[in-house]
Amino acid sequence: MIQTNKKGDWFEMIIPASWEQYTLESLFKGFWKAPKKVVHQFRLDKKVLINGVQPDWTQPLKKGQRIQLKLFTEKALTVIPEYHDIGIIYEDDHLIVFNKPAGMDTHPNERGQTGTLANAAAFHVQSNGEASNPRHIHRLDRDTTGAILFAKHAFIAAILDKMLEERFIKRTYLALADGIIRQKKGTFNKPIGRDRHHPTKRRVSETGQNAVTHFKVLRQMKEENLTLVQCTLETGRTHQIRVHFSDFKHPLAGDALYGGSETFQRQALHAVKLEFIHPFTQEKIECHAPFIDQPPIFLNIELYDI
C-alpha cells in the first residue's frame, strides 16, 4: 500500500520502490493511462511537483520522493445538490461507492432534473465541504439496486474510465431468473442494439454492440420456479443482463419490459460486489452492497459468499 496524504488542494504520494521503473511521463501515460490531453494540462498548469519543486518529467522516479498533484481545486457543480438518504459502502478523497436504491436514476437525463443519484452525490460532497464535482463511472438501471462507483475529480475519473474499459473494475450481480436453469454456468456473447419499436428497450441484434455476460447458477428454487444466478460483465451495455436472459428464455423475475413474471414489482437484479485496485494507494478495494429492498427480493442469500 502506498503512503498518501491530502494537504489542502494537493494530494501527496510517497514513491515506492516498484515505481522506480517509471519516469513521471510514463507513470501518467503508462501506469495510470491518463489521456494525453489531461497529462498536457497538468504540465501546462504546473499541477505536479516532486519534493515541492517543478519536476523533470523524463527523469526516473526514486523511492521515497514525494509526488504532489493539485487535484482538489474548486469546481462548479453540474447538477443540483439534493439530499437523499443513500448508503455509502466506501469513500475516500477521490471516489465514492454508493448502494443505489430502486426507483432512482443514476444521473439526470435532462438539464435541471433532480431525484437522481448524481444529485445525492453532489449534495453529499458539498455537505462535507468538498469542492468537487462527482461523476458516475458506470450506470445502473433505474430499478436495479447495488454498488455504483463515482469519481470525485476529473483525474481519477479519467483513470477509472480507462480501468473500466480495460476490465480492471470487476462488477458482480445477483439476479433471479424465471424458470429453472439446468446448466451450471455459461456465457452470453451476443451483441445488443436498440429496439426500433420501443424507445427505451434493447434487443439482441447482429448490428448491435458487442456484449458479453458470464453467469453461474447458485441455486435452483423449484418451489418458486426461479433460479438464483451470479453474473459478471465484460461489457456494460444498457440493460445487458436483462436482455441476455430474456433472449435465453429466462427473463428476470419482475422485469415487465423484457417479459419477466409479475413475481416482484421490479426486475430482480442487484449489483452485489465491486472490485478494483485503487489507482493511487494500490490497495485492493472490495465493496459488498447490502440488500436494501423492503420487502426483500433476495431472501436467505449470504452476501459474503458471492
**Active-site amino acid positions:** 141
Instruction: Provide the grid cell at 173.
Output: 450481480
Contact 114, 82 (CB under 8 A): yes
CB-CB neighbours of 38 under 10 Å = 16
**Phi, psi (5° rounding) for residue 270?**
-135, 125
| β strands within the chain, DSSP E | 4-7, 10-14, 48-50, 66-70, 87-91, 95-100, 135-136, 145-151, 170-178, 185-189, 192-194, 202-204, 212-221, 226-233, 269-277, 284-288
Half-sphere exposure of 230 (CA within 13 A, CB side): 17
CA distance 150 to 152: 7
Taking alpha carbons only, the member of 176, 138, 139 closest to residue 157 is 138
SS3 12: strand
CB-CB neighbours of 145 under 10 Å = 28
Instruction: Provide the grid cell at 189.
Output: 456473447
